[in-house]
């Protein structure tokens, strides 16, 4: 099944890469900066058609047309384009994020950036890979050695929990904090040890489902800000190698006190 999924992702990736530098039809969702294009919808429908044929009776939890949280024996959790704002502007940090949950357990994860041809993948119990090579979370143990990543929610201007305090706090204690604009890629690069840790607010299941399995299979930890295993109901997520994840949780406790 893995090879068939990768073929489907490769075809879907061609739709994205052939359209990233063209004009798109843009619709606005929750806010003026929460965008969707006709390409997001086209890629989602393409993936649904191909993955349904591959796994009959499977269901979908996906951003554009099936966003109700549900349970199913075989559930694809997917974001056809993670990094839509990047896609609209032609910035190549975009990906397809795809996970398969079987009986509620994540079994397959894929994060594919067709612009740079990076395919991150994990299968439960079999480790994580980038373009066929094994990947692991980083080995850093001190914050000052770290590169972290995060993102800002689309309701940034109106939401008090807009992540700026967290960004400022971490930015003063690490080598750098990046905000590339695709949570799925942020998590995939955390699995690969490029980023030592990642945190964010208000993410949806399709943003994180693949990243969670990738990070766990690469030896990392994913929780909510209270240190409990992350669930799709949680409103905050923090991940990293075990040492850095623990340090990030401690810092998050300090930030909470100052808010």
Contacts to Ca ion by CB under 5 A: 63, 79, 81-82, 84, 207
Give the whole-angstrom CA distance, residue 122 versus residue 26. 33
Give the whole-angstrom CA distance, residue 112 versus residue 109. 10
Shortest reach from residue 83's CB to ligand IPD, in Å: 5
- Site residues for ligand IPD per CB under 6 A: 63, 79, 82-85, 151-153, 181-183, 203, 207
153 interface partner picked from ligand IPD, Ca ion, none, CB below 5 to 8 A per type: ligand IPD
203 interface partner picked from ligand IPD, Ca ion, none, CB below 5 to 8 A per type: ligand IPD
Give the whole-angstrom CA distance, residue 190 versus residue 7. 25
Residue nearest to ligand IPD (CB): 151
93 interface partner picked from ligand IPD, Ca ion, none, CB below 5 to 8 A per type: none
Q: What is the DSSP secondary-structure string of 126-152?
A: S-EEETTEEE------SGGG-EEE---
Nearest to 190 by CA among 126, 249, 241, 246: 241
Shortest reach from residue 57's CB to ligand IPD, in Å: 27
- Choose between 7 and 67: whose C-beta lies nearer to ligand IPD: 67
Shortest reach from residue 186's CB to ligand IPD, in Å: 7
91 interface partner picked from ligand IPD, Ca ion, none, CB below 5 to 8 A per type: none
Contacts of 26 (CB under 8 A, 6+ apart): 35, 36, 37, 88
Output the six-digit token pair for 111: 């994060």
59 interface partner picked from ligand IPD, Ca ion, none, CB below 5 to 8 A per type: none
162 burial via Cβ count (<10 Å: 0-12, 13-18, 19+): middle
């Amino acid at each position: 099944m893995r090879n068939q999924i990768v073929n489907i992702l490769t075809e879907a990736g061609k739709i994205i890469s052939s359209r990233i530098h063209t004009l798109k039809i843009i619709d606005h969702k929750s806010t003026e900066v929460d965008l969707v294009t006709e390409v997001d919808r086209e890629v989602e429908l393409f993936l649904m058609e191909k993955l349904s044929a591959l796994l009959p009776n499977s269901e979908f939890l996906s951003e554009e047309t099936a966003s109700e949280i549900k349970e199913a024996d075989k559930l694809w959790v997917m974001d056809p384009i993670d990094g839509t704002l990047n896609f609209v502007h032609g910035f190549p940090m975009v990906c397809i994020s795809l996970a398969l949950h079987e009986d509620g357990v994540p079994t397959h994860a894929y994060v594919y950036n067709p612009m740079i041809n990076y395919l991150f993948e994990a299968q439960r119990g079999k480790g994580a890979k980038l373009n066929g090579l094994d990947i692991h979370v980083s080995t850093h143990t001190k914050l000052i050695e770290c590169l972290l990543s995060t993102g800002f929610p689309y309701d940034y201007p109106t939401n008090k929990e807009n992540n700026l305090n967290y960004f400022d706090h971490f930015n003063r204690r690490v080598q750098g904090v990046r905000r590339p604009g695709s949570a799925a890629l942020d998590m995939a690069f955390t699995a690969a040890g490029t980023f030592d840790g990642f945190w964010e607010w208000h993410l949806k299941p399709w943003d994180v489902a693949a990243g969670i399995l990738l990070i766990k299979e690469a030896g990392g930890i994913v929780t909510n800000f209270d240190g409990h295993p992350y669930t799709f109901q949680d409103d905050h997520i923090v991940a990293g190698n075990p040492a850095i994840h623990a340090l990030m949780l401690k810092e998050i406790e300090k930030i909470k006190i100052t808010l």
